[in-house]
Amino acid sequence: MAQRVQNLRRAPTSVAMASALALSGRRWAFRIVWELRVGPLSFRALQAACGTISPSVLQHRLHGLRDLGIVERIPRLGYRLTASGERLFHVLAALNKWSAELTKELH
């Protein structure tokens, strides 16, 4: 049994899930994806949409999201979701729906 659990931990899906969880643990990363759902936003517009995010943190998160292929920079337009970012948004939308339903159930 212990060997089976060890093998499961090494499975490619576990690596993929670990990557997704690492991304979710980066503060503001999912918020940036959520705000870009409406289309391209300039750096300033994205910062305003995110609220209290500092410019340096926003720049750092955008760099990381670009490296992962989730966000791309468009000259004169700002930042937008890639196809991969759009897929991630749909996951976040489902999570948002689940969260709203859970909140209703608990109250």
Q: Domains along the chain?
A: 27-106 (1.10.10.10)
Is pLDDT above 90 for 74?
yes
Alpha helices in 11-54 (DSSP H): 12-24, 29-35, 43-50
Q: Read off the pTM.
A: 0.81
Are 85 and 65 spatial neighbours (Cβ–Cβ below 8 Å)? Answer: yes
Average pLDDT of the chain?
A: 89
Is pLDDT above 80 for 106?
yes
Q: Which two tokens stand for residue 107?
A: 């109250």
Is pLDDT above 70 for 11?
no
Share of residues in the chain with pLDDT > 90 (%): 72
* pLDDT (average), residues 64-90: 96
Is pLDDT above 60 for 5?
no
What pLDDT sits at residue 15? 77
pLDDT class for 19, splitting at 50, 70, 90?
confident
Q: How far apart are CA 8 and CA 87, in angstroms?
A: 26
Taking the CB of residue 103, how many other CB atoms lie within 10 A of it?
A: 9
